[in-house]
A and B are shown apart, each in its own frame.
Chain A
Amino acid sequence: MNVLFPRTRAELFQTLAEPGARVLAGGTDLLVRLRSGRETAAALVSLDKIPELRGISETGGEGLGRGLRLGATTTHTELLAHPLVRARLPMLAQALSELGSPPIRNMGTLGGNTCTASPAGDTLPPLMALGAEVELASARPHGAGTRRLPLAEFITGPGRTALAPGEVLAAVHVPLPGAGWMQHFEKVGRRNALAVAVVSLAALLRTERGGTVAEARLAWGSVGPTVWRCPEAEAVLVGRRLSLTALGEAAAVVRAHVKPMDDVRASADYRRTVAGNLLLRLVAL
């Protein structure tokens, strides 16, 4: 199996056109899957040497407010070290700080976490709650070969994405929530480090004067085939303060709607209970 290091976009799409070629980012998931024989590749195309796929830049204007373009091969450690990620996206920073372990965060990338599309992918619930979009690049001539897609449409199932053959995830675009938005992330795992999430919750809430919830975006990890949203529970919270009563009602709605799985890490019943209970933490916001 050859390992190729294209240095430009043009070289990237040329090398990817080889039959059986696959994109290699941090390798923390892909190399494990390849070695186990669950997946195969004729050649690996590393994104390491393509500068435009790495790094964080500010975007904004166009009436959409400010945002960040997070290059696909930016590592979790690099994201965590960025002042705007820490200050303006604390829910993402919290998820990143609980992802894997220091060496895994030094190697693993945001693009990799996104394209692996695991139901337990730690960055995915916060990105989903934040309304992130993915930037997909391809060799197609029209439209400069780039399209954007909401993350919710990009991830189509466990380990499945809308990535077309020959297409590469170039960046994740995240809007920066303005003042008045509160962010919260919590992950429950079997241990603190190197844990696959048993259940996680990312909550993004906008409150008005007096603490009334105007908008709520709740996204759970590890309770379904992809990140799970619960509009019914969000509706329970809107127009109310984050009291234990309101949150308890929302938690009951979550338990009634969520359809988690049994697996080696936890039972469906446990996940259902915890998925609801994690909402009760919002009382402290």
Chain B
Amino acid sequence: MRLSFILNGHQVVLETAPDRRAIDLLREDVTHEDLLGFDLVCHDHRALEVKEGCGTGECGACSILVDGVHRLACLMLAAQLEGREVVTAAGLGTQADPHPLQRAFAEHGAVQCGYCTPGMVVAAAALLEQNPAPTRAEIRQGLSGNLCRCTGYVKIVDAVQAVAKDFAGEDSAEEPGAPCAENEGERP
């Protein structure tokens, strides 16, 4: 099928199988040659920041925004992107001009191996869009579909909370690093 959608602000048109997974398409296929007038222009918009962790919707590493909604690229098919607007972590900000969340993740040491980070940042952006002043518990809820196996979440929550405070302009939540219920793991 001929697929047309917007990826991080760029109009993308390409030929694909309709049942190609969105994650594979975004990571591998979004490079194309365009005939602009008489010039053959090569566009490479491959979104390698969209990571595949589990491939079954349980880890959140492939989190993307589709028309502003937090979705998982491993559980979408190419045909479902038709006419939609997709934003990945690279679309939120760049190295030169990072999103406040990306800056906060770096400043708070919320990045270790980095594999979960693009998905985490997308999930956090979706959360703050809906709830600009979340409590710490609401941040944990909002990120509960994104697994990190390095940092233990405290610094990630700290980073999101710092940005939320900047947005809200005041203290919106409890003490950072409060020890209670910090681990999402087994219930007692």
The contact of A102 among B75, B77, B79, B145, by CB within 8 Å, is B145
Q: Across the interface, do A46 and B80 meet the contact criterion of CB distance under 8 Å?
A: yes
A52-60, A150-158, A191-199: which one contacts chain B?
A191-199
Q: Across the interface, do A193 and B80 meet the contact criterion of CB distance under 8 Å?
A: no
Which residues from chain B contact A46 at a C-beta distance below 8 Å?
Answer: 79-80
Q: Across the interface, do A1 and B18 meet the contact criterion of CB distance under 8 Å?
A: yes
Q: Across the interface, do A193 and B75 meet the contact criterion of CB distance under 8 Å?
A: no
Which residues from chain B contact A3 at a C-beta distance below 8 Å?
Answer: 18-19, 77-80
The contact of B77 among A27, A189, A192, by CB within 8 Å, is A27
Q: Across the interface, do A191 and B75 meet the contact criterion of CB distance under 8 Å?
A: no
**Contact A106-B76, Cβ < 8 Å, known A100-B145, A101-B60:** no
Q: Across the interface, do B70 and A44 meet the contact criterion of CB distance under 8 Å?
A: no
List the A residue with the shortest CB-CB distance to B73.
A103
**Interface-central residue, A44, A102, A106, A190, by most chain B CB under 10 Å:** A102
**B123 CB within 8 Å of chain A:** yes
| B1-51 contacts to A (CB < 8 Å) | 18-19, 21
CB distance from B6 to the nearest CB of A (A): 18
Which residues from chain A contact B76 at a C-beta distance below 8 Å?
Answer: 27, 31, 107
**Contact A101-B145, Cβ < 8 Å, known A27-B76, A31-B75, A107-B75:** yes
Give the bracket for the number of chain B residues in contact with chain A.
20 to 34
Q: Across the interface, do A192 and B144 meet the contact criterion of CB distance under 8 Å?
A: yes
The contact of B57 among A2, A5, A28, by CB within 8 Å, is A28
Which residues from chain A contact B79 at a C-beta distance below 8 Å?
Answer: 3, 5, 46
| A1-27 contacts to B (CB < 8 Å) | 1-3, 5, 27
| A170-221 contacts to B (CB < 8 Å) | 188-194
What is the interface of chain B, defined by CB distance below 8 A to chain A? 18-19, 21, 55-58, 60, 63, 69-72, 75-80, 123, 126-127, 141-142, 144-146, 184-187
Query: Which 9 pairs show the lowest CB-CB distances between chains A and B?
Result: A101-B145, A193-B144, A3-B79, A3-B18, A1-B19, A103-B70, A32-B56, A103-B145, A103-B72
What is the interface of chain A, defined by CB distance below 8 A to chain B? 1-3, 5, 27-28, 31-32, 35, 44, 46, 48, 100-104, 106-107, 188-194
Given A3-B18, A104-B145, A193-B145, 8 more pairs with CB closer than 8 A: A3-B19, A31-B76, A32-B57, A102-B141, A103-B70, A106-B69, A189-B187, A191-B186
